[in-house]
């Protein structure tokens, strides 16, 4: 059990207000919140810094980035890659992370000369996460988010083998077939894959191959994934909804989270249907989408943003939340909820996500320097991890 710890002189970001006061931690939980400064000799004075809940990350590809740091280059030790990812995660204030792992193959063998097998990356990722969890090596608490590529011939079989993984907390359904959703603009699809140095014939073969795979596998794949998740009560997310029809299709499948909708219309329809709308925090930090999709700040200004994901930059999660407060005058508790309480609610983490008595002592000490939030300390269940 974590020892008793008193944190005082803090600006506590509660779910409904910011309170200058003291947090008393016992046995890894928040025991009490006090509006007064503690006079206890063992109290740690936070010198006016913010104290916020540990961040919850629902979709990060950061582990894959360390497993394959360059195109065609696989890092020899998956555990070493995980530990580096974990250190970045905890250092960014994230205490609960859903590692988002691709389920499918997508080798493009006909045109790719250096592609690593995504199936191999999937297995190596899972083995590393299991090892890290089982041996207590990890600073953040790691869970699994399987992102399933519907138009992939390998996906359904792989997913059926993995759906009963004990630490699986979220499943997302994706369709990256060029010509629709994120890749409605084929030129942007070509630009994204420019490092592959495809010829025109290469690109045409890939395009036709993926269209054929979509025709054959997307429908049955969607039915398999949604059925298995429904039977196990696993939350389901959609990916890159672009039209109102996409949002309606997602809701009809039992989706509860709309990840990264690419248009205002899709986000609005998703919200009308009761879905939690999640956008990328890098979109907020950069002031817009790198793919030319709808701005997360525009969605937030329209009242259509519920949660953020760091996606490919862990530190963007905290920065994005504070930018919602700074640029849009969103009250700080609401901004912080986009990276904590709102995600805890939709993912079923009832024991964390806010500063309240009885909740886990997952905490981040933050100081703002020239509008940039700086992580000064991180606790997970009352234990200092960064």
Q: Are residues 109 and 248 in the same domain?
A: yes
Q: Are residues 46 and 1 in the same domain?
A: yes
Q: Are residues 88 and 17 in the same domain?
A: no
Q: Are residues 160 and 301 in the same domain?
A: yes
Q: Are residues 237 and 290 in the same domain?
A: yes
Give the confidence band of 213 by pLDDT, cuts at 50, 70, 90.
Answer: confident
The per-residue pLDDT for range 164-212, each reduced to its tens digit, is 999 999 999 998 777 566 666 666 656 666 666 667 777 677 777 777 7
How far apart (Å, rounded) are the C-alpha atoms in residues 316 and 309? Answer: 8
Q: What is the pLDDT of residue 241?
A: 94
Q: What is the mean pLDDT of residues 75-100?
A: 97
Q: What is the pLDDT of residue 111?
A: 38
Q: What is the pLDDT of residue 191?
A: 64
Q: What is the mean pLDDT of residues 124-143?
A: 98
Question: Which residue reads 């248009």 in tokens?
Answer: 263
How far apart (Å, rounded) are the C-alpha atoms in residues 104 and 289? Answer: 26
Q: What is the pLDDT of residue 61?
A: 92
For position 266, which CATH number holds? Answer: 3.20.20.140
Q: What is the mean pLDDT of residues 303-322?
A: 97
Q: What is the pLDDT of residue 1?
A: 60
Q: What is the pLDDT of residue 206?
A: 74
Q: What is the pLDDT of residue 196?
A: 64
Burial state string for 110-144 with b = 16 or more CB within 10 A and e = fewer than 16: ebbeebbebbebbebbbebbeebbeeeebbbbbbb
Q: Are residues 83 and 221 in the same domain?
A: yes
Q: Are residues 187 and 127 in the same domain?
A: yes
Give the confidence band of 118 by pLDDT, cuts at 50, 70, 90.
Answer: confident
Residue 110 has pLDDT above 60, yes or no: no
How many Cα atoms sit within 13 Å of 174 on the Cβ side?
A: 24
Give the confidence band of 114 by pLDDT, cuts at 50, 70, 90.
Answer: very low
Q: Are residues 122 and 257 in the same domain?
A: yes
Give percent of the chain above pLDDT 70.
91
The per-residue pLDDT for range 275-291, each reduced to its tens digit, is 999 999 999 999 988 76
Q: Are residues 326 and 363 in the same domain?
A: no
Parent domain of 320: 54-353
Residue 107 has pLDDT above 60, yes or no: no
Residue 109 has pLDDT above 50, yes or no: no
Burial state string for 60-91 with b = 16 or more CB within 10 A and e = fewer than 16: bbbbbbbbbeeeeeeeeebeebbbbbbbbbbb
Q: Are residues 110 and 254 in the same domain?
A: yes
How far apart (Å, rounded) are the C-alpha atoms in residues 266 and 245? Answer: 8
Calculate the alpha carbon distances from 366 to 20, 157, 290, 322, 375 in Å. Answer: 14, 44, 28, 10, 5
> Which one has a higher pLDDT value, 301 or 154?
301
Q: Are residues 193 and 308 in the same domain?
A: yes
How far apart (Å, rounded) are the C-alpha atoms in residues 171 and 347? Answer: 11
Q: Are residues 340 and 205 in the same domain?
A: yes
For position 378, which CATH number holds? Answer: 2.30.40.10
Sorted by sequence, the CB contacts under 8 Å of residue 50 that are 6+ apart come out as: 10, 11, 13, 18, 365, 366, 367, 368, 373
The total domain count for the chain is 2
**Full 3-state SS string of the chain:** CCCCEEEEEEEEECCCCEEEEEEEEECCEEEEEECCCCCCCCCEECCCCEEEECEEEEEECHHHHHHCCECCECCCCHHHHHHHHHHHHHHCCEEEEEEEEEECCCCCCCCCCCCCCHHHHHHHHHHHHHHHHHCCCCCCEEEEEEEEECCCCCHHHHHHHHCCCCCEEEEEEECCCCCCHHHCCHHHHHHHCHHHCCCHHHHHHHHHHHHHHHHHHHHHHHHHHHHHHHHHCCCEEEECCCCHHHHHHHHHCCCCEEECCCCHHHHHHHHHCCCEEEEEHHHHHHCCCCCCCCCHHHHHHCCCCCEEECECCCCHHHHHHHHHHHHHCCCHHHHHHCCCHHHHHHHCCCCCCCCCCCCECCEEEEEEECCEEEEEEEEECCEECC
């Amino acid at each position: 059990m974590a020892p008793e710890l008193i944190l005082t002189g803090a600006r506590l970001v509660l779910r409904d207000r910011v309170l200058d006061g003291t947090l008393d931690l016992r046995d890894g939980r928040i025991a009490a919140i006090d509006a007064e400064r503690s006079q206890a000799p063992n109290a740690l004075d936070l010198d006016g810094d913010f104290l916020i809940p540990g961040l919850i990350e629902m979709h990060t590809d950061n582990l894959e980035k360390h497993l394959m740091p360059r195109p065609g280059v696989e890092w020899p030790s998956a555990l070493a890659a995980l530990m580096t990812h974990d250190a970045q995660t905890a250092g960014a204030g994230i205490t609960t992370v859903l590692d988002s792992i691709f389920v499918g193959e997508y080798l493009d063998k006909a045109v790719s000369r250096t592609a690593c097998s995504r199936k191999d990356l999937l297995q190596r990722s899972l083995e590393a996460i299991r090892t890290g969890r089982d041996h207590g090596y990890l600073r953040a608490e790691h869970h699994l988010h399987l992102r399933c590529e519907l138009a992939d011939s390998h996906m359904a079989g792989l997913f059926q083998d993995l759906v009963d993984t004990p630490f699986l907390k979220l499943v997302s359904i994706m369709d990256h077939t060029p010509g629709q959703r994120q890749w409605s603009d084929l030129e942007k699809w070509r630009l994204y894959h420019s490092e592959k140095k495809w010829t025109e014939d290469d690109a045409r073969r890939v395009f036709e191959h993926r269209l054929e795979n979509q025709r054959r596998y997307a429908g049955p794949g969607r039915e398999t994934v949604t059925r298995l998740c429904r039977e196990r009560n696993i939350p389901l997310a959609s990916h890159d909804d672009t039209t109102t029809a996409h949002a309606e299709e997602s809701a009809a499948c039992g989706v509860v989270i709309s990840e990264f909708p690419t248009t205002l219309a899709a986000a609005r329809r998703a919200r009308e249907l009761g879905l939690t709308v999640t956008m990328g925090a890098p979109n907020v930090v950069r002031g817009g989408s790198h793919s030319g999709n709808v701005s997360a700040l525009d969605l937030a200004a329209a009242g259509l943003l519920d949660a953020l994901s760091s996606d490919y930059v862990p530190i963007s999660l905290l920065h994005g939340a504070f930018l919602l407060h700074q640029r849009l005058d969103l009250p700080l508790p609401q901004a912080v909820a986009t990276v904590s309480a709102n995600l805890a609610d939709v993912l079923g983490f009832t024991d964390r996500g806010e500063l309240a008595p009885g909740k886990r002592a997952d905490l981040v000490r933050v100081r703002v320097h020239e509008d940039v939030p700086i992580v000064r300390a991180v606790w997970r269940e009352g234990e200092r991890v960064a």
